[in-house]
């Protein structure tokens, strides 16, 4: 099975019900794209976005899940709930979750396993801080995160890895093409199923740099943050992936 390009938009804590018109603009672009398209809205919009995307090539993902499928976990959502609401994917281990909520590799691994058990594709995020990059530890840090975050059955299931250098998320900074290619190659050689696992780059991906990033070796797509909130910008990034 060959890898397909994936362009994923992470809306983070943005979006109200009035934003659903966004998909009227993006759906025709997605229909012509060579890539698979995924949009991850906030949990409040998951069900209406899934309904809005019915009959289109846009798939819908969630931004996090709990490691348990049910129970006394006030305010949390299980992977099975997300699938029931229309999700096909779920982001786990995003650096903002790791930093803001203290999530460890073990937490991320458990969430990824729960997602797989519920029939979702986990998008497992890894990435280094600026201090770790400047000290020459970037690949070692990401390798440790990857090893600690992959579920035990990762060689036999569908999953996605997203490399997001923490210092490039929402800052306007982008890792150099050489650094991106080196990191993606390092990630690929450490994957249980390297030939078929999709590796995304994330970190200030925009229409102006998308084509160059997507052309790099071992870059199978993009996890887009702020630019995914604008239908025109996200459409331009989709077009950069080819048609």
The pLDDT-based confidence of 46 (bands split at 50, 70, 90) is very high
Query: Over 80: is that where the pLDDT of 243 sits?
Result: no
pLDDT tens for 92-127 read 999 999 999 999 999 999 999 999 999 999 999 999
Nearest to 92 by CA among 128, 60, 59, 65: 65
Name the residue ranges covered by the structural domains of the chain: 6-240
User: Which residues have a catalytic role annotated?
Assistant: 94, 164
Q: Quick one: pLDDT at residue 143?
A: 98
15 burial level (CB within 10 Å; 0-12, 13-18, 19+): middle
Q: Quick one: pLDDT at residue 209?
A: 95
pLDDT tens for 32-44 read 999 999 999 999 9
Say whether domain 6-240 belongs to CATH 3.40.640.10: no
Q: Quick one: pLDDT at residue 3?
A: 87
User: Mean pLDDT across the stretch 191-196?
Assistant: 95
Count Cα atoms within 13 angstroms, Cβ side, for 218. 20
Q: Please, what is the Cα angle at 7 between 98 and 49, to 5 degrees?
A: 80
Q: Quick one: pLDDT at residue 170?
A: 82
Query: Over 70: is that where the pLDDT of 1 sits?
Result: no
Q: Does the pTM exceed 0.95? A: yes
């Amino acid at each position: 099975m060959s890898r397909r390009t994936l362009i994923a938009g992470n809306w983070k804590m943005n979006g109200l019900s009035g934003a659903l018109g966004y998909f009227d603009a993006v759906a025709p672009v997605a229909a012509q794209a060579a890539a698979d398209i995924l949009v991850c809205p906030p949990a409040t919009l998951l069900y209406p976005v899934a309904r809005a995307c019915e009959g289109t090539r846009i798939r819908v993902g969630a931004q996090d899940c709990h490691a348990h499928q049910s129970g006394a976990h006030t305010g949390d959502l299980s992977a099975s709930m997300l699938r029931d609401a229309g999700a096909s994917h779920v982001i786990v281990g995003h650096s903002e979750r790791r930093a803001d909520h203290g999530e460890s590799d073990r937490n991320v691994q458990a969430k990824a396993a729960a997602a797989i058990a519920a029939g979702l594709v986990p998008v497992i995020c890894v990435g280094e801080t600026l201090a770790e990059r400047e000290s020459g530890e970037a690949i070692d840090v990401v390798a440790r995160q990857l090893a600690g975050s992959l579920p035990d059955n990762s060689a036999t299931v569908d999953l996605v890895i997203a490399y997001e250098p923490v210092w490039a998320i929402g800052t306007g900074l982008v890792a150099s093409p050489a650094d991106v290619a080196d990191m993606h190659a390092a990630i690929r050689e450490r994957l249980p199923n390297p030939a078929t696992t999709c590796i995304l780059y994330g970190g200030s991906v925009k229409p102006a740099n998308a084509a160059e990033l997507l052309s790099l070796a071992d870059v199978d797509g993009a996890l887009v943050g702020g630019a995914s909130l604008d239908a025109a910008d996200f459409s331009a990034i989709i077009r950069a992936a080819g048609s």
